[in-house]
Amino acid sequence: MSFDVFPGETLGVIGESGSGKSTVSRAVAQLVEPTAGKVWFRGQSVFDLSMTQRREMRRHIQMVFQDPHSALDPRMTIWQSVCEPQRVQRVGCTADQREHALQLLERVGLTESHAKRYPHELSGGQKQRVSIARALSLQPDLMLCDEPVSALDVALQADIMNLFAELQAEFGLAYLFITHDLSVVAHIADRIGVMYLGQFMELGSIDEIIDHPAHPYTDALIKAQPVALPSYLRTNERVHLQGDIPSPIDPPSGCRFRTRCPYAEDRCSAEVPEWREVSPGHWVACHFAGQIQLGASNSGRTSVGS
Ligand code: SF4
């Protein structure tokens, strides 16, 4: 898979569990080294840099993790946790680090009293705000958000998503936003990449992907969204994806999605679909993109096996 994240934009990456979304974000964060391929940041291949250069580059790429409970060290106060990236990168003196940390905590909606507490004394939403403040502490250009709201309840999810949007406007951040929830990514993303078994199936602007999906997998994900409508207002459109996502160690031949695709034909097992641009900026990997009758129906329900 190959993609760009442009300054100030949000690229959402969506897919089922096991599709490789988190591995992508960890490779970009240099937490795992890819066995093949490159990660480029500001025109430099990050894994070809010296350790000193990589350490400097890491300042500009920060991460917000899925589970705010395990993302914070239980033995450190909130203040210490938010100061730690500055301490590791030797930014400013201790007093400056503490002052900057407090400003960031206040910016994400917390106070000095929260700063003095330990993680177990905060709620899940407050801990995720701390994680965001910590990620902001080195003034990154790119923030990798790996399912950052999936561990929170629905009311808190909206608050945190609004906070992400405000911070992006304020600091000009680019987000690589990983999620399995299309409604979450539709709230914030400029573009969406739909991932399956380690590859992109479709990539395009949010409007294009939601209104004109060209890949059967994208279509199934859209129709799998829960709909807050009475049953008589829903359509009967359903796409049943049978079975589990196959093992990435031994993926299906041809199209990786063919074992679960309701439109699969002989050609799908024999040939790998070309990654092609079906309209400006809208890329898809399906032999029959544009020929299959797909349509986003926000009033339908789909069951997606997982
Ligand atoms: Fe389905 Fe074939 Fe298209 Fe793959 S290439 S998504 S199996 S129709």
Query: Domain boundary at 121, 139, 157, which?
Result: 139
Nearest CA to ligand 1 atom 3: 286
Domain, as residue range, for 115: 69-139
In this structure, the answer to whether residues 76 and 196 fall within a common structural domain is no
The proportion of the chain whose per-residue pLDDT surpasses 70, expressed as a percent, equals 91
In this predicted structure, what is the pLDDT of residue 295? 60
**H or E element in which residue 209 lies:** helix 206-211
Instruction: Using the predicted structure, report yes or no on whether residue 164 has a pLDDT greater than 60.
Output: yes
Tell me: do 10 and 90 sit in the same domain: no
Do 269 and 183 belong together in one domain?
Answer: yes
Residues 1 and 97 in one domain: no
Our measurement of the distance from residue 93's CA atom to the centroid of its chain's CA atoms, rounded to an integer in Å, reads 34
How far is ligand 1, taken at its centre, from the CA of residue 263, in Å? 6
| Minimum CA distance residue for ligand 1 atom 5 | 286
Q: What is the mean pLDDT of the chain?
A: 88
Report CA(22)–ligand 1 centroid distance (Å): 24
SS3 state at 61: strand
Residue pLDDT, tens place only, 94-144? 999 999 999 999 999 999 999 999 999 999 999 999 999 999 999 999 999
**Is 114 in the same domain as 159?**
no
Note the pLDDT of residue 238. Answer: 60
Give the residue-averaged pLDDT of 274-284.
Answer: 95
Q: Are residues 55 and 173 in the same domain?
A: yes
d(C-alpha 182, C-alpha 14), whole Å: 7
State the distance from the centre of ligand 1 to the C-alpha of 251, rounded, in angstroms: 14
Probe target for ligand 1 pocket from 195, 199, 255, with the most ligand atoms within 8 Å of CB: 255
pLDDT of residue 235: 57
Q: What is the pLDDT of residues 60-98, one digit of tens each?
A: 999 999 898 999 999 999 999 999 999 999 998 999 999
Claim to verify: residue 122 and residue 148 sit in the same structural domain: no
Residues 124, 147: one domain? no
Domains: count for the chain: 2
In angstroms, rounded to a whole number, what is the distance separating the alpha carbons of residues 220 and 215?
9
| pLDDT surpassing 50 at residue 301 | no
Distance 256 CA to ligand 1 centre (A): 8
Q: Would you place residue 277 in the very low, low, confident or very high pLDDT band (cuts 50, 70, 90)?
A: very high
Closest ligand 1 atom to residue 289 Cα is 3
Q: Do 282 and 154 belong together in one domain?
A: yes
Residues 164, 293: one domain?
Answer: yes
Q: Which residues of 188-207 are buried (b: 16+ CB within 10 A; e: fewer)?
A: bbbbbbbbbbbbbbbbbbbe
- Which of residues 17 and 170 earns the better pLDDT score? 170
* Shared domain check, 214 and 91: no
